[in-house]
Amino acid sequence: MVAEMIGIDLGTTNSAVGHSTGSDLEILPNTRGDRLTPSVVAFDGRTALVGAQAVNQAVQYPNHTVFSAKRYMGTDEEILLGEEGDKSAFTPEEIAALVLKKLCRDAEDALGRSVDTAVITVPAYFNDRQRQATKHAGEIAGLTVERILNEPTAACLAYGLRTGTDQTVLVYDLGGGTFDSSLIEISGSVFEVIATNGDTNLGGDDWDARIVDWLEEHLSVEHGATIDDPVTTARMFDAAKQAKHELSTRQRTQITIPFLELGGDTYDIERTLTRTQFEQLTEDLTEETITLCEELFEPTAYTPASVDEVLLVGGATRMPSVRERVGEFFGTQPATRVNPDEAVALGAAAQAAILDEDTLPVPDDDSGEVPVGRTTADVPTTRDAADIVLLTVTPQSVGIEAHRSSPDDTYYDVLISRNTPIPANETKLYSTVVDDQKYVFISVHQGEGSLSKTELLDEFKIGPLPLRPAGKPDIEVSFAVDQDGLLQVSAEDVDHEIGDEIAIESVFGLAAEEISAMKQNLPALR
Ligand code: AMP
């Protein structure tokens, strides 16, 4: 039997799975019947729990539980789970792999067929390391990752397939831990990303943290108490998130946290938070997203007024203050035709269908409309999916640390600048700066501005080079960014007799052996 390809929205807070039936796109519910699965993992020393079950035991076992691990993707952060003295260390990739494994297992249950391939979405602003880590997580979970797709592009695909009109769309995507804004031009079947900007460390969790700060300040002023243990912190964050959600539909909310243990004493928190107060506490966070939207337009010929439709994606866009501010900035009420929680997974499923021609959705009649069936009214039609072309861009510039005339005089030389359509390739010649230089170090950076503002992605050296005067060798450095937004770098001394032998391919993230060891040792799911 042919295994299935699914679309996965691997979110910071929640994840969702989309699937194409061949005539329709649908969200696959998990084994509890929920359309969203919390991206939360708990580990008891032997087996792992993922999703609502992990959330349910989190307040009791905070040291065994990890929330929002997507924030660590692409870093060397060790995630330690367990009690003091008996902790197990996980990489962010392993935690993401456990979430993916659970999503696939549940998808297999829902479909009654095996799942071995996936399109996985990432924030558009994810850098190379973060994309690579996501792909590796899929591999650790035993999946073939057919495509890494940008979340806003996926959402726009789900939306655009439904409306079928030519327009300029701004996707404002505020999730639990990340913010992305993307400007996308839909013209016929072509979806072209014009520019993208964002912050991979700004999301709904930061709004929760502001409520926690406010509660802490009260505890400190009223009782001189400080919070010093993970159980209390977990309870505070839990209550803060709940209050934030309530304030999306109400003007005020009551925050009640009984029996808080602080420094040997017990306190009951009982406070009223109004929407106005909450909006004051978080105004700068909302403004930060608007500044990022403003910056998005700078390198383009577009202005906020040229946007026809604003699409809101990500659970945190349910906050009324966010909707209002976005509407005010763009001078248009944001579209509500897509469900912000499901649009990305549906778009990922559409991309999966485009890649896997066997299950390409086709309209069932001349109108091109597809029956809504057992999915929500937000389900896009699948009109012209066969002809869909997705053109996307690099989110951040990539380049190397280059030298002017002396080893100390360095600068950031960009090879592929941000917002370049991908796939993209660039090759440039460099040389040595001292006579008889034996090695050339290639430091690959990503980001904008001066060298100090960028992030070092990787370093490697080529050599030993034959002895030649400074400036003589021709060192050819090649950059290639593929469809997934992944970067490959190579360097070569072109005049050298053994030429290719000293061409070194840079490898980012985990090595193949590490991925296979992690796959073998991944804890079983309970
Ligand atoms: P996502 O990563 O897209 O699943 O978004 C999750 C974020 O959306 C979290 O910070 C949630 O607290 C937030 N969120 C979900 N529902 C609401 C709501 N009704 N009001 C405010 N924020 C929400």
Q: Specify the pLDDT at position 18.
A: 97
Characterize 265-301 residue by residue with b for buried, 16 or more Cβ atoms within 10 angstroms of its Cβ, and e for exposed.
eebebebebebeebbebbeebbeebbebbeebbeeee
Task: Look over the chain and give the mean of its residue pLDDT values, rounded to a whole number.
Answer: 88
Distance between Cα 316 and ligand 1 center (Å): 4
Per the domain annotation, does 359 fall within a domain?
yes
Position 368 confidence tier, pLDDT thresholds 50, 70, 90: very low
Distance between Cα 36 and ligand 1 center (Å): 12
Q: Are residues 276 and 356 in the same domain?
A: no
Residue 450 has pLDDT above 90, yes or no: yes
| Residue 78, both tokens | 């060790």
Distance between Cα 14 and ligand 1 center (Å): 9
Mark which of 358, 393, 428 sits at the end of a domain.
393
Q: Which atom of ligand 1 is nearest to the CA of 14?
A: 4
Choosing from 55, 126, 244, 344 the residue with most ligand 1 atoms within 8 A of its CB, the one to mutate for a pocket test is: 244
Q: Which atom of ligand 1 is nearest to the CA of 12?
A: 2
Per the domain annotation, does 326 fall within a domain?
yes
Q: Specify the pLDDT at position 388.
A: 79
Residue 359 has pLDDT above 60, yes or no: no
Q: Specify the pLDDT at position 423.
A: 94
Domain coverage including residue 339? 4-202+288-393
Provide the percentage of residues in the chain whose pLDDT is more than 90. 67
Q: Is 328 helix (H, G, I), strand (E, B) or coil?
A: helix
Q: Which of 11-20, 42-51, 355-364, 447-456 has the lowest mean pLDDT?
A: 355-364
Q: Are residues 15 and 111 in the same domain?
A: yes
Q: Which atom of ligand 1 is nearest to the CA of 36?
A: 4
CATH of residue 503's domain is: 2.60.34.10
Distance between Cα 500 and ligand 1 center (Å): 51
Q: Which atom of ligand 1 is nearest to the CA of 344?
A: 3
Position 63 confidence tier, pLDDT thresholds 50, 70, 90: very high
Position 497 confidence tier, pLDDT thresholds 50, 70, 90: low
Q: Specify the pLDDT at position 169.
A: 94
Residue 148 has pLDDT above 90, yes or no: yes
Q: Specify the pLDDT at position 224.
A: 84
Predicted confidence (pLDDT) per residue in 156-197, tens digit: 988 887 777 889 999 999 999 889 999 999 998 889 999 999
What's the whole-model pTM score? 0.86
DSSP assignment of 362-404 equals --SSTT-----TTS-TTPPP-TTGGG-EEEEE-SS-EEEEEES
CATH of residue 360's domain is: 3.30.420.40
Chain Cα centroid distance, residue 195? 17
Q: Are residues 198 and 210 in the same domain?
A: no
Predicted confidence (pLDDT) per residue in 5-59, tens digit: 999 999 999 999 999 887 778 999 999 999 999 999 999 999 999 999 999 999 8
Q: Determine what percent of the chain falls in helix, strand and coil, rounding each to the nearest 5.
A: 35, 30, 35
Q: Is 246 helix (H, G, I), strand (E, B) or coil?
A: helix
Span 276-294, average pLDDT: 98
Residues within a 6 A CB radius of ligand 1: 11-14, 175-176, 203-205, 241, 244-245, 248, 314-316, 318-319
Q: Specify the pLDDT at position 3.
A: 76
Per the domain annotation, does 17 fall within a domain?
yes
Q: Specify the pLDDT at position 199.
A: 92
CATH of residue 274's domain is: 3.90.640.10
Span 368-391, average pLDDT: 50
Task: List Cβ neighbours of 512 (8 Å cut-off, separation of 6 or more).
Answer: none
Span 223-242, average pLDDT: 88
Distance between Cα 13 and ligand 1 center (Å): 8
Query: Known catalytic residues?
Result: 9, 70, 151, 173
Span 137-147, average pLDDT: 97
Q: Specify the pLDDT at position 57.
A: 92
Nearest CA to ligand 1 atom 6: 176
